Every structure is written in C-alpha cells, then in structure tokens.
Amino acid sequence: MLLTLFIANTALANEQTDTEIQYLLDFVETSGCTFHRNGSDHDSADAADHMRLKYSRGKKYVGSSEQFIDRLATESSWTGRKYTVTCDGNTRPSGEWLHEALDNYRSTAGG
C-alpha cells in the first residue's frame, strides 16, 4: 500500500515538473527577449530550442523545475559562463528571470 502511494506521488510530482518546465520553455520562446550565451545574442525562439536540447540531454539530472533552471538554463555546460537575458532594455541573469517566472506561474496556476 505504501509503495503504491509512493509511486503515485512520484508520478504526480514528475508530471507537475514536466508541466512547469514546458511552461518555462514556452515562456522563454514567446518572451521576445534577447538571450546572451557565450558571447552571442540569440532570439527567444533560439534560446528555447537550446534549452529544450539541453533538457532532452540532461533530463536525468533534473528532479524539479528549480533544478532545470539551476542546472541547465543558467550557464554554459562547456564554458561555465552565466547566461543573461535582456527584456525591455533590462539585462539580468537568466536564472533569476526564470525563477521569477516559475514563482509567478505557480501563484497563478495554483501549483
């Protein structure tokens, strides 16, 4: 009985994490912001595609939406350089921006 409950809770948590990460990827793609990665600028669609690729390759290292942000969406795995994002003339670290978007999503989605 406890094992069944544990498996059900784990599946629900994984589904919620997948839903939140998909939201973040869609948020990035439709943001219209400019992303700065390893000295190059990228539009929001390219940035979302890059994050999708990193997620598909590194999903096993992600157990939560926060880990997705912290482990895959904030810095280059090759150079270690932090990513930044510029929206409406304001540049900030991508991790800070994505954590804020996740918090907003959770507060409006009831998650």
Q: What is the pLDDT of residues 23-64, one digit of tens each?
A: 999 999 999 999 999 999 999 999 999 999 999 999 999 999
User: Alpha-carbon distance 25 to 8, whole Å?
Assistant: 26
**Averaged pLDDT, 89-107:** 97
Instruction: Write down the pTM of the prediction.
Output: 0.84
Contacts of 93 (CB under 8 A, 6+ apart): 74, 82, 83, 84, 85
Q: Looking at 2-6, 15-19, 74-78, which range is the least confident one?
A: 2-6
Domain ranges, ordered by start, for the chain: 2-100
- Residue-wise pLDDT for 59-95, tens only, equals 999 999 999 999 999 999 889 999 999 999 999 999 9
HEC secondary structure over the chain: CHHHHHHHHHHHHHHHHHHHHHHHHHHHHHCCCEEEECCEEECHHHHHHHHHHHHHHHHHHCCCHHHHHHHHCCECCCCCCECEEEECCEEEEHHHHHHHHHHHHHHHHCC
